[in-house]
A and B are shown apart, each in its own frame.
Chain A
Amino acid sequence: MTINLALEYIPRRMQELGYKADYYIRFRHLVLQPNEEQTIDAFNQFYYLVEEAENVRVESETGVFDLSESTTNEMQYEHQSKIHITNYLSGINHLRFIQVIPKHKIKTTIKK
């Protein structure tokens, strides 16, 4: 998705999920080595795929984003939990995300 869409989308999505404004937002631009595969721990976080993402596969429990994947009817841009990234290029590739990190909110937690 474009960055503008992501910036409109994220606050509304966080409201839906109940996080309101209690989250941090980071822009991540990953540089992937030739044929690199990596797994990102994104439990309790959200990664939104922005800008172009070609020759790369991003898969997580919410779905898959892979332009060469023909067996799915939708591509997923919002990823959570464990994210598996595969670079199909035998050269350097780039991948951009907006990372949303809901706060721990220690200060406002009521101990039960």
Chain B
Amino acid sequence: MMKEGVIITKISIKRQGERKHFQIKLPKDTKFIIGIEYGGRLISKSDAIKFAAAPKAAPTEELPKTEVIESVTVAGTVEERSKTFFKRNQLIGELKLQSSEESNWFYSTDVFGADANLKYGDFSNAGFNVNDYTHGNKRTEEIVKVDAESTIIQGWYLDALGKSQKVDINYEVTIYVWINVEE
């Protein structure tokens, strides 16, 4: 009988531009890796925060949530223009995963914070505020299929958030590796 499970790995990022290598051990009874998901949370920002231009809205820094999505909106680098313009999303970092067997580098992604364009094209301004938890898509894992013969998964995460703001930001990226297990 097949059972599904998830392996949770937390990567702690403390310095700007940091590249963190890690290994994820697969349990002995794993048959396949069937999906990958990621999330993150902000832990703290250091005191000296520099912005390119004076922000119109104060940067909203959301406190650590149990839900996977992290919301850090930086208004400094993006000028507030008309609401119909497509906004740049804040890139948090890049994540890549490598298997030990033939699949090699089997997963690669850009980790973004909140979707800044959820309100794109909404000219109604109807008073129902747009948030990730009201208008965001349901998040599911990305499907992969990697043989568990791999035994361990290697990977790295490269910080982009701290680098773009030129400040050390302490945050945590969580990687969820979905596996199926032979009972």
Partners in one complex: yes
Residues in B57-72 with C-beta less than 8 Å from chain A: none
A101 touching B149, Cβ below 8 Å: no
B151, CB-defined interface residue at 8 Å: yes
Complex CA distance for A106 and B150, rounded to whole angstroms: 10
Check if A24 sits within 8 Å of B25, measured CB to CB: no
B31 interface residue (CB < 8 Å to A): yes
Contact A106–B31 (Cβ < 8 Å): yes
Q: Which residues of B contact A69 (CB under 8 A)?
A: none
Given contacts A24-B100, A106-B31, is CB(A101)–CB(B147) below 8 Å?
no
- Taking A103-B151, A106-B148 as known contacts, 16 extra A-B pairs with beta carbons closer than 8 A to each other, sorted by chain A number, are A24-B151, A24-B152, A26-B154, A41-B25, A101-B151, A101-B152, A102-B151, A104-B26, A104-B30, A104-B149, A105-B149, A106-B30, A106-B31, A106-B147, A106-B149, A107-B149
Taking residues whose C-beta sits less than 8 angstroms from the other chain, chain A's interface range is: 10 to 19
Interface SS, A side? strand
Sort chain B's interface into a size bin.
10 to 19
Please list the 9 inter-chain residue pairs (A to B) with the smallest Cβ-Cβ separation, ordered nearest first.
A24-B100, A104-B151, A103-B151, A101-B151, A106-B148, A106-B149, A101-B152, A104-B28, A103-B149
Q: Within the complex, what minimum Cβ distance (angstroms) separates A34 from chain B? A: 13
Interface string of A73-112 (1 = CB under 8 A from B): 0000000000000000000000000000111111100000
Residues from chain B with Cβ under 8 Å of A44 in the complex = 28
B72–chain A nearest beta-carbon distance, Å: 25
Q: Which residues of B contact A41 (CB under 8 A)?
A: 25
